[in-house]
Chains A and B, each alone.
Chain A
Amino acid sequence: MSLDPRVRIIAFFLVAVSVALSRSFSAVLFFLPYLVFILFLERVKPSHFKKLIPANLFLVFIFLTVPLREALLIFVKCNLILSFLIVLVSTERFPVLIHALHHLKLPDKLVHLVFFTYRYVHIIDEEYRTFMKAAKARGFHPKTDRITYKTLSYILANLIVRSYEKSKWAYKSMVCRGFHGVFPLYYHFEMGFKDLCFLGFTFVYVGALWARYSGLKMFM
Chain B
Amino acid sequence: MGEIFRAEDVYVKRGENLVLKGFNLAVGEGEKLLLLGPNGSGKTTFFEVVVGFVKPERGRLLFMGKPVEAESDFRLLRRKVGYVFQDPESQILMPTVEEEIAFGLLNLGMPRSKIREEVEMVLSAFGISHLKRKFTHELSWGEKRLLSIASIAVMKPELFLLDEPFAGLDERGVRIVASFLKEYDKAVILASHTELNFFEDWDKFYLRAD
**Chain A: residues with CB nearer than 8 A to chain B?**
94-95, 98, 115, 118-119, 122-123, 126, 166, 169-170, 172-180, 184-188
Decide yes or no whether B70 CB sits under 8 A from chain A. no
Closest to A122 in B: B137
| Size bracket of the B interface | 20 to 34
* B96 lies within 8 A of chain A by Cβ: yes
B residues 94-109 in Cβ contact with A at 8 Å? 94-96, 98-99, 102-104, 106-108
In angstroms, how far is the closest chain B Cβ from the Cβ of A185?
8
Known A-B contacts A122-B137, A177-B155, A188-B112; A95 and B96 likewise in contact (beta carbons under 8 Å) = yes
**A212–B197 alpha-carbon span in the complex (Å):** 79
Could you say which of B22-30, B79-87, B181-189 contacts chain A? Answer: B79-87
Q: Enumerate chain A residues within 8 angstroms of B62, measured Cβ to Cβ.
A: none
* Contact with B106, one of A98, A126, A169, A186 (Cβ below 8 angstroms): A186
Is there an interface contact between B85 and A169, defined as CB atoms closer than 8 Å? yes
A-B contact pairs, 17 of them (CB 8 A): A95-B99, A119-B93, A166-B89, A169-B87, A172-B53, A172-B90, A173-B85, A173-B91, A173-B92, A176-B82, A176-B83, A177-B104, A177-B151, A178-B79, A184-B107, A186-B112, A187-B99
B16: min CB distance to chain A, Å = 21
B34 contacts partner chain A, Cβ-Cβ < 8 Å? no
User: Do A95 and B93 contact each other (CB < 8 Å), given the known contacts A176-B78, A177-B103, A180-B107?
Assistant: no
Does B68 have its Cβ within 8 Å of any Cβ on chain A? no
Binding site for A on B (CB under 8 A): 51, 53, 75, 78-79, 82-83, 85, 87, 89-96, 98-99, 102-104, 106-108, 112, 115, 137, 151-152, 155
CB distance from B134 to the nearest CB of A (A): 12
Instruction: Chain A residues near B98: list those with CB within 8 A.
Output: 186
Which residue of chain B has the shortest Cβ distance to A98 in the bound complex? Answer: B95
Q: Which 8 A-B pairs have the closest CB atoms?
A: A184-B106, A169-B90, A178-B107, A177-B104, A122-B137, A95-B95, A186-B102, A173-B91
B137 and A123 form a contact (CB under 8 A): yes
Q: Please name all residues of chain A whose beta carbon is closer than 8 Å to the beta carbon of B112 when the two chains form the complex.
A: 186, 188
Q: Is the CB of A173 within 8 A of B108?
A: no
Chain A residues, Cβ within 8 Å of B91 = 169, 173
Task: Give bound CA distance, A69 to B75, whole Å.
Answer: 63
Q: A123-B137, A178-B107, A186-B102 are in contact. Are A166 and B95 (CB under 8 A)?
A: no
Most buried by B among A98, A172, A178, A179: A178
Q: Which residue of A lies closest to B91 (CB)?
A: A173
Give CA–CA (A212, B34) in the complex, Å. Answer: 76
> Which of B53, B85, B95, B152 has the most C-beta atoms of chain A within 10 angstroms of its own C-beta?
B95
Residues on A with C-beta less than 8 A from B115 are 186
* B176 vs chain A, min Cβ distance (A): 21
Taking a contact as CB atoms closer than 8 A, the residue among A170, A185, A188 that contacts B93 in the complex is A170
Residue of B nearest to A182 (CB): B107
Q: Determine the residue in chain B with the shortest Cβ distance to A116.
A: B93
Q: Using known A-B contacts A95-B95, A188-B112, determine if residue A178 contacts B78 with beta carbons closer than 8 Å.
A: yes
Chain A minimum-CB-distance residue to B53: A172
Cβ 8 A contact of B51, one of A95, A166, A176, A187: A176
CA distance A4 to B94 in the complex (A): 21
Q: Which chain B residue shows the least CB distance to A121?
A: B137
Are A178 and B87 interface neighbours, CB within 8 A? no
Q: Which residues of A contact B78 (CB under 8 A)?
A: 175-178
Given A123-B137, A186-B102, A94 contacting B85 (CB threshold 8 A): no
Known: A169-B87, A170-B90, A173-B85. A118 touches B107 (CB 8 A): no
Q: Which residues of B contact A180 (CB under 8 A)?
A: 75, 107
Give A213 to B27 CA distance when docked, in angstroms: 76
